[in-house]
Each structure stands twice: as C-alpha cells, then as structure tokens.
Amino acid sequence: MNAIIQMMKEAVIEWEFWLTVITSFVAVIALFQTNKQTKLSNKQHLFDRRLQNYQLASNLIHLYESNILSFYDEDTDGRVVAARIHLISLTKDNFFENVCASDNGFDREYGKALIQARNKLRNSAVETTLIFKGKESEDISTFVLCYEHVLLKLYSFIHAFDDTLSSSSVVREIADEEEYFQSICTAYEKLADAYATQKRRGSLEKLQMQIRLK
C-alpha cells in the first residue's frame, strides 16, 4: 500500500514537472510570437510612414514640373495676379484640399488653412530625414522645405499688395514691394536648385527603393 502511495506521489511530482516545462515552453513561444508581431507592426508602421512621405514628395515634384512659371509683369497688379496663379497652381493636389480660395478670395481663413498645410510640409521634410537613409533623404527634404517657403512668399505678397484684401492697405504702407517681390524670386531659385539636385541624383527613385518591407 505504501509502495502504491509512493508511486502515486512520484507520478504527481513528475506530472507537475512536465506541466511546468510545458507551461514555460508555451510562455516562451508566446513571447516569441509577441516579439515577432511587434517587429512586424513596427515594420508596417515604418512602411506606412515612408510611403506617405514618398507620395507627398512625388506629388509636389510632379506639381512643380507641371507649373514652372515666371513673373513677367512689372506693375503691382500684374505681380499680384501672377502670385495668385502661382499659389493656386502649386496647391492643386489632394494634400491641399482644405486650401482653396473662398468667395472673398485669399482671406484669413485661406491663410489659416495654408499655414496648417505648410506645417505639415515642414513636418514631412523633417520626418523624411529620420525614416529614410542616405543623401537622397536630405535632397527630398530640402525640396519640400523650399516648396513650403515658396508658398509662404507667394501668400505674403498677395496678403500685402492685393487691393481686394482689407489687410493689404495697412501692410502696403510699410512694405517694400520690390523687396517682397525679390524674396519670391529668391525662393523660386532655391526651389529650382533643390529640384535640379534631386533630379540629377535620382533621389526620388532611391527613396522609392527604401519603402519596401524587408
């Protein structure tokens, strides 16, 4: 009888041992799976961010290529009209869906929407250098920042010298039109240089190659 009881005790101890082993094994497998899923989730998030920033940069580049314009008018009204055309042309993308001139033209609400879009452009430029590698990320980041700066200069000029805006009469009294105008030209020159650099180096294509998940 004692022998049977002893055998039962040993069986219980052995069963508890193997249960502990199995439980530990299952826990290790679960931990491995969790770690794997976390890595996949991080990779997916990185993929999504890279794709989003790449698509934005690609759309801006194509938008720029389709709207390479120049200022020909020397008088104020002509320059204002040109600035309006440029600003509308450079924001013809879904990214700028909230940036559209109302019945009141380029009013304060338009300015607020443009500020929000420009902030997103700056954030994208910074993020591009963080989630992509190589010189190509700097090239694309520079282009996006220059693009944003052109939008700023165009709207600033319109805001200061468009007679249809109530704010322009006040600004115009203290603003130097030629200085404003030259700042637009300088911004465009920097944008053209940034475009040429990324085009020469094939930066956008190199960025595309980094998007895929590995």
SS3 content of the chain, % helix, strand, coil (to 5): 80, 0, 20
Tens-digit pLDDT profile for residues 148-200: 999 999 988 888 877 655 554 445 554 677 888 888 989 999 999 999 999 99
Tell me what pLDDT residue 103 has. 47
Instruction: Confirm whether 19 is domain-assigned.
Output: no
Q: Would you give the distance in Å from CA 64 to the centre of its chain?
A: 16
| Residue 106 neighbours by CB under 8 Å, 6+ apart | 84, 87, 155, 158, 159, 162, 165
Q: Which residue has the tokens 């879009």?
A: 117
User: In the prediction, which pLDDT does 60 show?
Assistant: 96
Q: Is residue 191 part of a domain?
A: yes
Task: Render pLDDT for 117-162 as a digit per residue (tens, 0 to 9).
Answer: 999 999 999 999 999 999 999 999 999 999 999 999 998 888 887 7
**Which residues lie below 8 Å from residue 140, measured CB to CB, with a gap of 6+?**
57, 128, 132, 198, 203, 204, 207
* Residue 148 belongs to a domain: yes
Q: Residue 29: what pLDDT?
A: 59
Residue 10 lies in a domain: no
Residue 34 has pLDDT above 60, yes or no: no
187 domain residue, yes or no = yes
Domain hosting residue 170, numbered range: 46-209
Count of domains forming the chain:
1
pLDDT of residue 135: 94
* Residue 161 covered by a domain: yes
Tokens of 70: 């120049």
Judge whether 41 lies within some domain: no
| Burial class for 146, CB neighbours closer than 10 Å (0-12, 13-18, 19+) | buried
Domain presence at residue 17:
no
Q: Over the stretch 49-106, which tens digit does the pLDDT of each residue have?
A: 999 999 999 999 999 998 876 655 566 677 888 888 889 889 988 888 877 655 456 7
Q: Average pLDDT of 22-43? A: 55
Q: Is this prediction's pTM over 0.85?
A: no
CA dihedral of residues 184, 186, 189, 191 (deg, nearest 10):
-70
155: tokens are: 């709207």
Share of the chain above pLDDT 70, in %: 67
Q: What is the mean pLDDT of residues 13-21?
A: 54
- Residue 102: DSSP 8-state: B
DSSP string, 155-195: HHHHHHH-TTSTTHHHHHHH--HHHHHHHHHHHHHHHHHHH
Q: Report the distance separating Cα 58 and Cα 46, nearest Å.
A: 18
Cβ burial of 8 (10 Å; 0-12, 13-18, 19+) is exposed
Q: Which of left, alpha, beta for 105 (phi over 0: left; psi -120 to 50: alpha)?
A: left
